Amino acid sequence: MRHDLAYPLMGICALIDRVDVDVSSELGEDAFVLDEDNARVAFRVGVIERVVRETDRFADEVGYSDAEERLRLVQRAVNQFVVHELVHIKQNFPHFASVQHVKDGMPDYGVPMLDAAADVVAAWTCANVECERLEARAENDLLLEYVNALLLAYLIGAFVFDVRGRPPKIQRALGLVISALLVQALASGTLNRQVLFEGWRELSPVLVLDLEKTSIFNAFVLDGLPGLLVPTYEVLRDDLAGRFWRSAGTAPLMATLQLGSEILLEIDAIARG
């Protein structure tokens, strides 16, 4: 599966070769500024500080007591954030001014689709890097590191950039949770592939349906031939879908993960281990 890195990284490596990567203390809504005239990409310090704070908070939530483990988690989150933003440049989405044009031309779905694709590429890239660092060569090692990276992508997408009250961003963020749970099930042998859309794979971007507007759970798989994740169209028990939706961007993160797991069990996408 590591060959999947080749295409996205060719563009990113070429970009890094020709520009200086820096940080900027200037205020702004965008995560980075691309100065093409001076061949410079500057990341906003304020955004990086938010990544650090939210990752540190998550380390507290999951009980990371070892200082080196906490530091590495923060480093991974910052690295992944940077790779995600560099992928945007490869997507022809390099300037904050482009955001409004995309929102105007494709309301609700344009930006989340670009973000979801950048999420999985950045997560996959950083999972491979972590496996190399740990000298972990088994296929399951890579899958489990990828699960961790997808959860970091959710942390950044849902907490660093607050998704509460913003349905398109929630659809993208919860898609990351569903992806992490599916990949975890694949690694543990509890994934019911026969239930899933045949086009789903580990690197497929996923956007959940707007669960404020529908009482059933499903998700779009945006890879190759797009399709719906499962053929199930049933109202879930105990308002599971609604509770999952409302949990986005709220602590504890693990509660959202638990709700997502209960949904996938309910629709038979994963089996109990």
Q: Is residue 273 one of the residues assigned to a domain?
A: no
Q: Is residue 110 one of the residues assigned to a domain?
A: yes
Domain region containing 12? 2-266
Q: Is residue 238 one of the residues assigned to a domain?
A: yes
Q: Is residue 117 one of the residues assigned to a domain?
A: yes
Asked if 267 and 187 touch (Cβ cutoff 8 Å), the reply is no
Question: Sign of the C-alpha dihedral, residues 53, 58, 59, 61?
Answer: positive
Residue-level pLDDT, tens digit, the chain, 273 residues: 454 666 666 667 666 767 778 888 877 767 887 787 777 888 889 999 999 999 999 999 999 989 999 999 999 999 999 999 888 888 887 666 687 888 889 888 899 999 999 999 999 999 998 999 999 888 899 999 999 999 999 999 999 999 999 999 999 999 999 999 999 999 999 999 999 999 999 999 999 999 999 989 999 999 889 999 999 777 888 899 999 999 999 999 999 999 999 999 999 999 987
Q: Is residue 190 one of the residues assigned to a domain?
A: yes
Q: Is residue 147 one of the residues assigned to a domain?
A: yes
What pLDDT does residue 1 have?
A: 46
Q: Is residue 271 one of the residues assigned to a domain?
A: no
Write the CA distances from 24 to 43, 44, 66, 78, 142, integer angstroms. 6, 5, 31, 15, 33
Domains: count for the chain:
1
Q: Which tokens go with 35?
A: 């100065």
What pLDDT does residue 11 have?
A: 67
Beta pairing class for 40-44 and 32-35: antiparallel
Q: Is residue 128 one of the residues assigned to a domain?
A: yes
